A and B are shown apart, each in its own frame.
Chain A
Amino acid sequence: MHAAARSLALILAMALLLLAPIPAGAQLRSVELYAPRPFGHVIGDRLTLSADIVLDVPFQLDPASLPRARPLNYWLELTDVRLTDRGTSGDAQRYALNLTYQIFYAPLEPKRLDIPPLQLLATDGERRVEFVVPGWSFLTSPLREIVSTEQGAAMALRPDAPPPPIPVSGTLRGLLFSLGCVLAALVVLAWHVGWGPFAQRRGRPFARAARAVRAALPSPKTAPSSPAYRQALLSLHRAFDATAGKGVFAEDLPGFFSAHPGFVLVETEIRRLFAASRRLFFGDDLVAATQELPPAELIALAGRLKAVERGGR
């Protein structure tokens, strides 16, 4: 409240005039007091006064002269004292002093109250200079009528604060979040190890075969060497064997397709692959084999087989 409606109740203390006997040299340049609005404060309010203090450079504010937080009188309590060193600029040493007061005065009508001035000390090591942060006055306002005109009890208290339950929403959120983490970790583990719905992923022989084919035929445009092409075909056949769980030959293909209907999509290419293998492995005819299934198409076929295996097209 005080901070928001801070109006500048600026009292440029020509504090030098108030000071104890000091030489004409101005050790204290200025004390400016910034205060909240000077009216409309009620019992229990907190007021923050801030004072900008400017000293000449060798002088420093003596922290021991600051008041400590304490009740000042029966209605006024100093609750917080905070000194900020704003550093030096030129030959001026600046301080910001924040004083927080709490008032406990129950006025019957708007009443002017005074916050007393504050005596502080500045020192340069040898000389000590006293100066004053000026006091301040403000109007307090009452909360109630002097004589109640309200129906019913004149001394009706405000109701009790009901005991609140322990808030559990934060714990609940934490529980849900950690359950989510458990689930995520389990999904990652299952995917990685190949449990449950990820069982198909186990091994993924065609994925491995596709990698091996690409490794064996690094330049599909040029005619491949016999061992490389042989190697590529072999790795694809191993993938078929691993997928079917037994050796797959051209005669077994109808059985393979009925067991793994996904592969029907690429049936013609698969048949060409088996034809090429027959040429190469049994006829030892690399040229005929590469005519049947050129290396580029072999790589493309490996990619499609991998996609079918993954459950794609």
Chain B
Amino acid sequence: MTPGIRRGRFILLAAGALLAVSLCAVGFFAVRLVLDRRANGEIAALAAGHDVVVATDARPERLFARLVFLTTRDRFDEAQPLMNRIASSAAPRLAAAAFYDLANARLRVALSHLESNEIDPAVPLVRLAKEGYRRALTLDPGFWDAKYNLDIAMRLVRDFPQIETSGEEIPPEAAKRLWIDLPGVPRGLP
């Protein structure tokens, strides 16, 4: 009789424990599902063009949706902090896509500047775009669209070893040359 009772108690305890644990799990997953569904609703709303504000500590997918919303409207100053947050979250694919989209938006603006022959505002945008594509490719070397667009950006404003490697210090003769090459600098009186 005793082993029977002991076994009965064991079954009771095990079933109770399983019930408690799985109820907790049900609660956890249900809450997460509801939150994720709501976040996906926000993501869809942002994609549809509604200006939904996203908390800065939201999940990277929501930040990314907000980032795309901002970049397609050329609001780069607001997008950059979101980009930094996405980059620091542990989602390399998502971060690569975010870097790529932000760089695309900058490159598009730069191209429209170039079409109307405005070189000066275009150059820093192209440089930032190149940097963005490089970051995207560092995270995901198989990102072909980023490779292609980086190629476009590289041909717009080419990298040169002198500029990249010399860094802060410009050798004096180069500085001299630069100065002389600038148009509109008075070269002394006749």
Question: Is the CB of B152 closer than 8 A to any CB of chain A?
Answer: yes
Q: Are B111 and A143 in contact (CB under 8 A)?
A: no
Which parts of A129-176 form the interface with B (CB within 8 Å)?
Answer: 142-144, 155, 157-166, 168, 171-172, 174-175
Cα of A282 to Cα of B94 in the assembled complex, Å: 89
Cα of A30 to Cα of B46 in the assembled complex, Å: 60
Chain A residues closer than 8 Å to B11, beta-carbon distance:
188, 192
Task: Report the 8 A-B pairs with minimum CB-CB distance, sorted nearest first.
Answer: A74-B164, A181-B22, A178-B25, A106-B154, A185-B19, A158-B145, A175-B29, A44-B137
10 contacts across the A-B interface (CB closer than 8 A): A42-B147, A43-B151, A44-B141, A104-B137, A104-B150, A106-B158, A158-B104, A163-B61, A185-B15, A189-B16
Using known A-B contacts A102-B137, A142-B151, A143-B151, determine if residue A160 contacts B111 with beta carbons closer than 8 Å: no
Partner of A106, one of B19, B26, B33, B150: B150
Which parts of B48-90 form the interface with A (CB within 8 Å)?
Answer: 59, 61-62, 64-65, 67-68, 72
Q: Are B19 and A43 in contact (CB under 8 A)?
A: no
Chain A residues closer than 8 Å to B30, beta-carbon distance:
175
Cα of A42 to Cα of B144 in the assembled complex, Å: 10
Question: Is the CB of A98 closer than 8 A to any CB of chain B?
Answer: no
Cα of A200 to Cα of B14 in the assembled complex, Å: 23
Partner of A185, one of B18, B40, B104, B164: B18
Residue of A at shortest CB range from B99?
Answer: A161
Cα of A184 to Cα of B21 in the assembled complex, Å: 12
Chain B residues closer than 8 Å to A179, beta-carbon distance:
22, 26
Question: Is the CB of A84 closer than 8 A to any CB of chain B?
Answer: no
Q: Are A160 and B152 in contact (CB under 8 A)?
A: no
Q: Are A161 and B150 in contact (CB under 8 A)?
A: no
Question: Is the CB of B43 closer than 8 A to any CB of chain A?
Answer: yes
Chain A residues closer than 8 Å to B59, beta-carbon distance:
166
Partner of B148, one of A102, A144, A174: A144
Using known A-B contacts A157-B108, A181-B22, determine if residue A74 contacts B161 with beta carbons closer than 8 Å: yes
Chain A residues closer than 8 Å to B142, beta-carbon distance:
1
Using known A-B contacts A42-B147, A44-B147, A155-B152, determine if residue A165 contacts B108 with beta carbons closer than 8 Å: no
Q: Are B40 and A165 in contact (CB under 8 A)?
A: yes
Taking the closest CB of chain B, its distance from the CB of A213, in whole angstroms, is 16
Question: Is the CB of A259 closer than 8 A to any CB of chain B?
Answer: no
Chain B residues closer than 8 Å to A166, beta-carbon distance:
36, 39-40, 43, 59, 61-62
A residues neighboring B (CB under 8 Å): 1, 42-46, 73-75, 77, 79, 102, 104, 106, 108, 142-144, 155, 157-166, 168, 171-172, 174-175, 177-179, 181-182, 184-186, 188-189, 192-193
- Name the residue in B64, B104, B144, B151 with the highest tally of chain A Cβ atoms < 10 Å from its Cβ: B151
- Name the residue in B59, B100, B141, B158 with the highest tally of chain A Cβ atoms < 10 Å from its Cβ: B141
Chain A residues closer than 8 Å to B111, beta-carbon distance:
155, 157
- The range of chain B's interface size is 35 or more
Partner of A164, one of B36, B94, B108: B94
Chain A residues closer than 8 Å to B37, beta-carbon distance:
168
Partner of B15, one of A106, A160, A172, A189: A189
Cα of A159 to Cα of B144 in the assembled complex, Å: 11
Interface flags, B137-170, vs A, CB<8A=1, else 0: 1100111111111111011001111011100000
Q: Are A160 and B22 in contact (CB under 8 A)?
A: no
Q: Are A165 and B44 in contact (CB under 8 A)?
A: yes
Partner of A175, one of B26, B65, B159: B26
Chain A residues closer than 8 Å to B23, beta-carbon distance:
178, 182
Q: Are B101 and A161 in contact (CB under 8 A)?
A: yes
Chain B residues closer than 8 Å to A144, beta-carbon distance:
148, 151-152
Chain A residues closer than 8 Å to B44, beta-carbon distance:
165
Chain A residues closer than 8 Å to B15, beta-carbon distance:
185, 188-189, 192
Question: Is the CB of B12 closer than 8 A to any CB of chain A?
Answer: yes
Q: Are B26 and A163 in contact (CB under 8 A)?
A: no
Partner of B143, one of A44, A155, A178: A44
Using known A-B contacts A104-B150, A182-B19, determine if residue A165 contacts B43 with beta carbons closer than 8 Å: yes
Question: Is the CB of B134 closer than 8 A to any CB of chain A?
Answer: yes
Cα of A164 to Cα of B143 in the assembled complex, Å: 16
Q: Are A157 and B134 in contact (CB under 8 A)?
A: no
Taking the closest CB of chain B, its distance from the CB of A207, in whole angstroms, is 11
Residue of B at shortest CB range from A79?
Answer: B138
Cα of A73 to Cα of B166 in the assembled complex, Å: 10
